[in-house]
Structure 1
Amino acid sequence: MAGTVILLISHEDLIQYPIETNSKKIKSYSRNLRSNTDKDMINPDETGRKFCELLEIIARLRSPGGCPWDQKQTVQTFKPYLIEETHELSEALDNDDPNQIREELGDLFFQLGFINQLYEERDIFSIEDVLQSIIDKMIRRHPHVFEGKTFESYDEMSRNWARVKEKEKSKKEHKMYELDVPKSLPALIRGQKVASRAARTGFDWPDLRALVENLSEDFRILTDDALEGNKEEIEQSLGDLLFSLVNLARKCEVNGEECLKRATDRFITRFKLMEEILSANNLAIDELDQESQRKFWAQTDNHS
């Protein structure tokens, strides 16, 4: 019968891959981190050598006689480059270009190693501390993979994930942490994560219909505020509507950020096509009235 392989990225982002199995229970695995099937996939000596070489390059760039630009960097001055490289990797993944992805992954490894170097120079922590921390965390949060624990269901495993995270922090810290999503995240991503974590505590809409009714009310309020022209009221009511929309995305199990990204890409594609159509007719957008613009825009509908 059909079973499930479960990849835990975060508690609110659980990814399931269907498999065929004769057991109703999620399969337990040995704590041996290297299974027989993957023992030849990674050459620890070569991988370790390359990793150390990268760290040595970073250390040399920061050392006396190294690169003046690298030497003057701080955590705060370097942070924007980390964000930029992360977005570039995200775009490479969207493009599904292996060469671009490989290059961007390398750039991101460099960014992470550089930030670690900044802290290692101040004797705050080392790369070994960083790696050991994530190794321990992943093993601790996946007892069904590394410690032989068996769960009766996907939901039981999900609850265990939450319990393990809770044990990792004191009650006071946990309450603060529950909605503590980085402010530097894109607003839609942050909003959806906050909504997901709030729902995890039981603070949620009873059903989709109730949420849709609230959306209608939020839109009515925004419309009234927009017609009145009060900017502060518009900003607040628009924010409320957007937050309700990310809740709708969460309820419908879609990624609000990706939805907006794809909609923006569709708009760009159609707009460029409309410009091409107009150019072929020796026309420009700013020369057309709104009715004519809509007619040319409609011609691009089947190409988005």
Structure 2
Amino acid sequence: MVKQTEYSWSLVVLPIQEEEDTPFTLAPLRDVVAALRAPDGCPWDRLQTHSTLRRYLLEEIYEVLEAIDNEDVDNLREELGDVLLQIVFHARLAEEAGQFSLQDVIDDITTKMIRRHPHVFNRTDSEGAATAVLSWEALKAQERGHERRGLLDGVSKGLPALLRAQKLQEKAAKVGFDWDSVEPVWNKFYEEIDEFKEAVAAGDRKNAELEAGDVLFSLINLLRWYKIGGENALNRTNTKFYRRFSYVEHCVRSSNTSWDELTLAELDSYWDAAKVNERSHSV
């Protein structure tokens, strides 16, 4: 059954597909969080604030990414639920403080997505809007809170460093502050590596750290040219290293010897075996 719902804040009529039995709802999770925060609820949950929950939201996001990288659908379902719990919990804290509700959060993001996609939702000029070249940044600039910001101010300082570097570069590139081709990007990367080597050879630890940052920043810029996200790439490598090292650790335990009794060559042979084991399982 299709129900037609009109939104007073937009010139659109959106079809909403209802379930045959029970409509989709966040009410059960909302009620659970409310019970946890009640005077007779969970002491730990009652002590939480936006600040204390920050680390848990970040951890859950990374666990979602890990599930995606592992192509583990069951785990992805679970981890998305954990992220949703964090969102509902933050909304509950705000509602208790009289700031906003979970429904406000849902309404705001719905309104924003419709406003930023006029080529999809603006029924008054559907043909013209569908063929228009739309600027996401231009639409964002028209919104409250964006009108007086500097170009890079919208990139959160709370992002992981690699992801923030990519976002800063993408923002700058959108106004033409970018190389014309990838060749000079490669050259810049090698140039930064040479400067890092010079700083290390000179024993200048402070400058070496700065040059190391330049190497990473230029590498992220290079990856951007190949549509590769540095944060995702490094996360996948971290996962791969963890998996292979765990295999090496298993081999060491199975050999009934300690780490310091094995040579680097022997450990390398276990590492090579880990790679062979991966390939055999991926076939």
The two structures have a TM-score, normalised by structure 1, of: 0.76
1:274–1:125 Cα change, 3 Å: closer
Aligned equivalents of 2:171 and 2:260: distance in 1?
A: 46
Q: Which amino acid aligns with 1:163?
A: A
Indicate the structure whose relative CO is greater, using CA pairs within 8 Å and at least 6 residues apart.
Answer: 1
| Unaligned runs of at least 5 residues, structure 1 | 1-29
Equivalent residue runs for 1:23-62 within 5 Å: 31-34=12-15, 39-40=17-18, 42=19, 46-48=23-25, 51-62=26-37
- The residue correspondences of 1:24-103 to structure 2 (distance < 5 A) are 31-34=12-15, 39-40=17-18, 42=19, 46-48=23-25, 51-103=26-78
Rate the CA distance shift 1:103–1:296 in 2: closer, same or farther, 3 A. closer
Quote the RMSD (CA, aligned, Å): 2.8
Give aligned pairs, total.
Answer: 264
Higher deviation after alignment, 277-286 or 256-265: 277-286
| Alpha-carbon offset, residue 142 of structure 1 | 0.7
Distance in 2 (CA, whole Å) between partners of 1:125 and 1:276 is 51
Amino acid at match of 2:98: D
In 2, Cα distance between the equivalents of 1:100 and 1:133?
29
Deviation at 1:288, TM superposition (A): 5.1
- In 2 relative to 1, CA 276–127 (structure 1 residues): closer, same or farther, beyond 3 Å? closer
Correspondences of 1:1-304 after superposition (within 5 Å): 31-34=12-15, 39-40=17-18, 42=19, 46-48=23-25, 51-147=26-122, 148=126, 149-152=128-131, 156-157=133-134, 159=135, 161-169=136-144, 173-175=148-150, 178-275=152-249, 286-287=260-261, 297=271, 302-303=276-277
* Distance in 2 between residues matched to 1:141 and 1:44, nearest whole Å: 33
Contact 1:179 1:198 in 2 (8 A): no
Q: Distance in 1 between matches of 2:96 and 2:68?
A: 33
**Counterparts of 2:270 and 2:217, CA distance in 1:** 33
Identical aligned residues as a percent: 35
**What SS does the corresponding residue of 2:164 show, helix, strand or coil?**
helix
- Distance apart, 1:275 and its partner CA: 4.9
Amino acid of the structure 2 residue aligned with 1:237: E
Question: Where does structure 2 lack aligned partners over 5 or more consecutive residues?
Answer: 1-10, 279-283
Q: Which amino acid aligns with 1:167?
A: Q
Letter in 1 for 2:140: K
Shift of 1:144: 1.2
Q: Deviations over 1:88-128 (max 9, x none)?
A: 22222233333322222222222111111111111111222
Please report the TM-score for the alignment, with normalisation by the length of structure 2.
0.81
Q: CA deviation at 1:265?
A: 3.1
Q: Provide the rounded CA distance (Å) in 2 between the counterparts of 1:121 and 1:303.
A: 53
Distance 1:59 1:266, change over 3 A: closer
Closer/same/farther in 2, CA of residues 85 and 292 from structure 1, 3 Å limit: closer
